[in-house]
Amino acid sequence: MRRSKPTTFPRWMTPYIFCIWFLILWGGPVAPASEPVFDMAAIQDANTLDIEVLQNWHSVEGLSATRQKLVTINVGDLWEGQQYRIPVRMVVPANQKATGFHLTGGSTPSRLKRDTKPNQLERELLKSGVGLVFTVVQEPGSYGQRALAADASKRFAETLNPHYKIQYWAWPATLMRAITTAYAETDHFVKGKVAVTGASKNGASPSMAILHDHRMTAVHAAVSPIWDSPLRLCDREAWNELESQPGRRSMFSGGNFGPNFNRAALEAGHTWLDLQNFTADIADEVFISRNLDQLRQRSVDMLFHPGTHDSVAYDLAWGGSHHSDIPVYLGANTGHGKKGHPQGEQDQQNKAAFLLKHFHPEQVTGSLLPPPSIKHSIENGTLKVTVKFPEDASAETGRIWWIFDRAPDGSPNYLSELIPNANVALMQYNPALGQWAATIKLAPGASRVDFFSNHRNTIKHKGLSYATYLSSPYTRVEIKN
């Protein structure tokens, strides 16, 4: 009996056979580079929400009478057999359907068990027929699911599959599935505008979700990532500079879209090239800066409050240089755990003005400012700065802030060394040139100076005034001594 010859393959197929063999032994999925993070058809499928009603629609009295409902939903499976469930509270006016709604994940399961008492802004939205939807975008450990969070982090470090990373998949999907939940309540909601707001993880999550879910029409996000800086893309030169800086670095500073996962991934067997490939591949799906054209084509309203000393939005110098057209307000000395500069804008009402203007622009007099251009020159030991808004925009005030020899983006001293109390000055407006101007005396021996300006414009809604502020691009200038 003749023995059959072993199966042979052309030499060119060897790498592919090796990859298949590796995946079989590995036993876990590795997301293909071309596979999107979200299946939007599944996200918008109300039939898979697996809704559990905790409190059915009921009337709630108060300064603004409402009808409210509390449910839990299945966002989806983090991995096979592991549901990610969260609560959603929906609030509509007492006597009409809501057209669109304001959405935020900045709540907790325990807080959502109680009927919502709308604040002044929320009452204004409800009066004009805008609904409210609240859900939970928080660390699972904060509400008793620490093991789930740890398991998800471990799986992500081993596979670099973004579906396992709660920051990449579960939190943005939570917001999108909350929209699906509300719009399934056809007796209480009519499709309209959906504005999403929040800070930190509740700023990052809507900033990612709005790139994928065209039902979202506005995002107001604070202390959260905006742009694709070299640190976020695991550029080795940028990381070498960061790691050379003195002090203990925050686990967030240097992270791609949340806490830094580099060390865990490297310890799990990945290389720096793996990290670079992963962050480059996912950048289009997470960063506002990579999607400006499509967002503007959709007429999405955007405003960001990154903070000047924040461990999550830690790359102001790079962002100001590369994305000067993204609207930001920079509260001096603000960020996670920061109290702000004593001369900061105490009357700032950006969020309220943003939402009122977005939902009912016809009820608002005035506009939020668009990003201005900024120019500078160094002459005779001084820095001269001019800021100019587009011709159809007019600011009421101008104030400039500066700091000398600030440490590199994301470094410990970048976060800890604040803008000195004295480093702020009013700017002068030149109506003939249509620009704001200031002159700053350079510190002897300084090698660079960082600066930005803040400008106010007041809008009115139903007789009430709201002070809004926008900043010029954060600018870093090298000083030749």
- 243-288 confidence digits (pLDDT tens): 999 999 889 999 999 999 999 999 999 999 999 999 999 999 999 9
In total, the chain counts a number of residues equal to 481
Q: Using pLDDT thresholds of 50, 70 and 90, give the confidence band for residue 17.
A: very low
H helix or E strand, kind and range, residue 57? strand 52-60
Task: Please say whether the beta carbons of 215 and 123 come within 8 A.
Answer: no
The span from the CA of 198 to the CA of 106, in Å, is 7
Q: Using pLDDT thresholds of 50, 70 and 90, give the confidence band for residue 35.
A: confident
Q: Which of 23-27, 34-38, 90-94 has the lowest mean pLDDT?
A: 23-27
Instruction: Identify residue 347 by its one-letter amino acid code.
Output: D
Q: Which residue has the higher pLDDT, 480 or 477?
A: 477
Say yes or no to pLDDT of 208 above 50. Answer: yes
Backbone angles phi, psi at 401, to 5 degrees: -125, 150
**186-203: pLDDT as tens digits:** 999 999 999 999 999 999
Which sequence spans correspond to the domains of the chain?
A: 33-364
Q: What is the pLDDT of residue 134?
A: 98
Q: Using pLDDT thresholds of 50, 70 and 90, give the confidence band for residue 34.
A: low
The span from the CA of 335 to the CA of 314, in Å, is 9
Q: What is the pLDDT of residue 216?
A: 98
The beta-strand segments (E) located in 185-334 are 189-199, 218-222, 301-305
Q: What is the pLDDT of residue 23?
A: 37
Q: Using pLDDT thresholds of 50, 70 and 90, give the confidence band for residue 480.
A: confident
**436-468: pLDDT as tens digits:** 999 999 999 999 999 999 999 999 999 999 999
Task: Please say whether the beta carbons of 405 and 241 come within 8 A.
Answer: no
**71-100: pLDDT as tens digits:** 999 999 999 999 999 999 999 999 999 999
Percent of the chain with pLDDT over 70: 93
Say yes or no to pLDDT of 6 above 70. Answer: no
- pLDDT mean over 302-310: 98
Facing residues of 454 across strands? 399, 471
Task: Please say whether the beta carbons of 91 and 132 come within 8 A.
Answer: yes
Gyration radius of the chain over CA positions: 25
The superfamily CATH assigns to domain 33-364 is: Alpha/Beta hydrolase fold, catalytic domain (3.40.50.1820)
CA nearest to 165, candidates 98, 255, 226: 255
Q: Is the pTM of this model over 0.75?
A: yes
Q: CA of 230: how far to CAs of 33, 233, 279, 362, 410, in Å?
A: 20, 5, 10, 42, 11
- pLDDT mean over 209-235: 98
The span from the CA of 229 to the CA of 409, in Å, is 10
Say yes or no to pLDDT of 31 above 90. Answer: no
Q: Which residue has the higher pLDDT, 16 or 67?
A: 67
Say yes or no to pLDDT of 295 above 90. Answer: yes
**122-179: pLDDT as tens digits:** 999 999 999 999 999 999 999 999 999 999 999 999 999 999 999 999 999 999 999 9
* pLDDT, mean over the chain: 93
Percent of the chain with pLDDT over 90: 91
Other beta carbons within 10 angstroms of residue 150's beta carbon come to: 12
Task: Please say whether the beta carbons of 231 and 238 come within 8 A.
Answer: yes
Cα atoms found within 13 Å of the Cα of residue 269, Cβ hemisphere only: 7
- pLDDT mean over 40-49: 98
Say yes or no to pLDDT of 16 above 70. Answer: no
Q: CA of 469: how far to CAs of 12, 193, 457, in Å?
A: 60, 24, 6
Answer positive or negative: Cα dihedral of 294, 73, 171, 97: positive
Q: What is the pLDDT of residue 481?
A: 72
Say yes or no to pLDDT of 222 above 60. Answer: yes
| Paired tokens of 405 | 């020899």
**347-363: pLDDT as tens digits:** 999 999 999 999 999 99
Residue in this structure with the two tokens 């991934």, named with its chain if needed: 265
